Structure formats: C-alpha cells, structure tokens
Amino acid sequence: MLMSYRTALELLLTEADESLLLDAHAVSSWEIPGFYMDAEGHWAAKLLMEKDAKTAYTTALAYHFTGTAAYANKVKDIIMVWAEVNKQIAGPDGPLVSAYLGVGLILAADWIKDFEGWSSSERNLFTDWLTQVCLPKWDQIPLRNNWWSWSIYAQLALYRFTEDKLHFAEEVSALKEHLDHSLSIEGFIPEEASRGKHSMWYHYFALAPVTAAAKLVLDTTSEDLFRWISPGGKSLQHAVGQFFHYADGHIKEWPYDEDPIFPEQPSASTWPLDLYEAMSIVYQNPDFERFVAPYRPIKGNTNLNSGFYHSYAWVYPELQFKA
C-alpha cells in the first residue's frame, strides 16, 4: 500500500507545508454553472474554491495540532480574501458548491478562532460574508436531496463557529426532520435512488454531510444523532450500514442499477473510504474497520478532474476526531 508507513498527521503536514506557498483565488462574482449543463464550466469555476478550501483546511488543521503561527496566518489570508472580495454567489450550482466547499473554510476558521493574529474585526468581516453572501444561498435551497444535506451541515458549522446557540438548535431540528423524511425505512435515500448509474455516488454524497453534521451536533451539545431513531423509525446508523453492504463487495446487488458507478481501485483518496473511516470510529464496527484498514491513512475523496478534495465532510477523518 502506497505511503502506508506515513501517519495521517505526517501526510497532513506535508499538504499544509505545500499550501503555505499558495494564494487565494476569490472573485467578486463566483458563478458555478450546472454540472449536467456545462461540466467544463462547472469544473473551472469550482476550482477557485477547491484550491483555497484545501489550503485553508490543511493549514488550519496543521495549526490545531502544532500551534505553528505560519499555518494560522495562511488560513487567515485565504479566508479573508474571500470575505473581502466575494460579493455574490451565482449560477445553478452556486448554492450547492458553496456549501460543500465553503464548509471547509468554516471548519478552518473554527480551528484558528483563538489565534491572536486574527483580529475580532477580521472575524466579524468573515462572519458577515458567510451570513450575507453564503447563508441566503444555502437557506433557500428548494431541493430536499443531497443539496439540503449539505446546506444543513454548512449552516450547523456556521452557527457553531459564531456560537449562535439558538440558530444551531434550529438546524439540529432541521437535520432531524431531514433524516426522517429523506431516509426510507429500509435505509435507502429515495431522492438519490432515482439517479441510475450515479445512485451509489449520490447515496454517499448525501450520507457524508449528514454524518459530519451529526458529529458537529455531538461535539457541540453531546446529543447523539448517530444512534437516534426518528419518529418514523428511520436511523442514520441503519442507512450507513445498509449502504456499506453494497460498497463492501456487493455492488452487483445494488437494487437501483445493474452497473452503478463506483471506484474501481479503492484508495486513501476515494469515496466511500473517507465516510467509513469516520464511521469505524463512531460505531466501532469491525466490518467498517476491516474495509478501511488496508488503505490507511485515509485522506479524503479527491476530485479526479482537479486533484483537490471534492467536498469537506470527511477530510482526514481520523484527525477530525482528535481535533
């Protein structure tokens, strides 16, 4: 296994050191075309924050573990450029992409919140950008599929960062309602089951943010949604276990497509290894442990079109549980 001798922290610090040399790519109007209408345009626009989210996230997590000021200064530089420059998020996929990448910036900001080199006025400006530019896009998402999963996760991260207990509690209620309505009693996600060959990917892409959201809730209020059963008898734990059955060598049994898209060669940088690394810690499930162990240390799902992390639910999941 490539790089198996290196720990997750060693890999992180390598990426963080590389990120110290990078600048921000914020633009005043960030427009993301719909992926299924203009894939090339979508990838090109998304790349701006893909680069910056990786820079901010890796240096922030490195700062958390090392206390090295250079890392925190780089995080501050990146997120403040977005706060100062970006005035509009536009395009059909703007709300979704700004949620699943933007949450990486919020997590990064949370890890440097007490850094003395980040002034209160700068933090306020960053918060204003999140609440005035990003939040309206996330909150107005009409879909109740993976888009809403990412919206709730991003909003929970925002309200945890700002220590807004009232709005955080409201999003916890929204998450519970979403789990009750989006999951089937069998543990599938009907909104994603209709995606044909992409239905396994979209199950993963919906489960990743709601499990990450459950961790935010657990860390913030000690309420355990990982083991919560909804009024309708739905369960995040059951959904995670159900999806795992198919990912773990039973893809041909997937009930929604005869040949669903799934990584041909699992690695530390492919889905759903990131999800099940995190879930192996949460549930202490020996099958999850067996599934991920050969590929450790797990980094996070990488966008094959760009080489950057696709989204920010579970990037360096092992370290997220130690942060």
pLDDT of residue 5: 43
The answer to whether 309 and 303 are in contact (CB under 8 A) is yes
Q: How far apart are CA 118 and CA 63, in angstroms?
A: 13
pLDDT band at 323 (very low <50, low <70, confident <90, very high): confident
Q: Which residue has the tokens 């922290």?
A: 9
Contacts of residue 318, defined as CB under 8 A and 6 or more positions apart, other chains included, come to 8, 277, 281, 296, 297, 298
pLDDT of residue 1: 35
Q: Which residue has the tokens 């369960």?
A: 235
In the chain, the amino acid numbered 164 is D
In eight-state DSSP terms, residue 89 is: E
pLDDT above 70: residue 66: yes
Instruction: Please write the tens of the pLDDT for every residue from 190-243.
Output: 999 999 999 999 999 999 999 999 999 999 999 999 999 999 999 999 999 999
In eight-state DSSP terms, residue 235 is: B
In the chain, the amino acid numbered 152 is I
In order, the DSSP letters of 248-317 are TT-GGG-TT-SS----SS--TTSTTHHHHHHHHHHH--HHHHHHHGGGPSP---B-TTTSSBS-SSSSSH
DSSP helix/strand/coil, 88: strand
Instruction: Please write the tens of the pLDDT for every residue from 132-164.
Output: 999 999 999 999 999 999 999 999 999 999 999
Instruction: Please write the tens of the pLDDT for every residue from 9-39.
Output: 999 999 999 999 999 999 999 999 999 999 9
Q: What is the mean pLDDT of residues 122-127?
A: 98
Q: How far apart are CA 149 and CA 266, in angstroms?
A: 25
Q: Exposed, middle or buried, 191 (CB in 10 Å: 0-12/13-18/19+)?
A: buried
Give the phi and the psi of residue 19 in degrees, each rounded to 5.
Answer: -70, -20
Q: How far apart are CA 197 and CA 190, in angstroms?
A: 14
Instruction: Please write the tens of the pLDDT for every residue from 100-121.
Output: 999 999 999 999 999 999 999 9
pLDDT above 90: residue 130: yes
Q: Count, in order, helices (H) and strands (E) of the chain.
A: 14, 2
pTM for the complete prediction? Answer: 0.97
Mean pLDDT of the chain: 96
pLDDT above 80: residue 69: yes
Q: Which residue has the tokens 């204003």?
A: 128
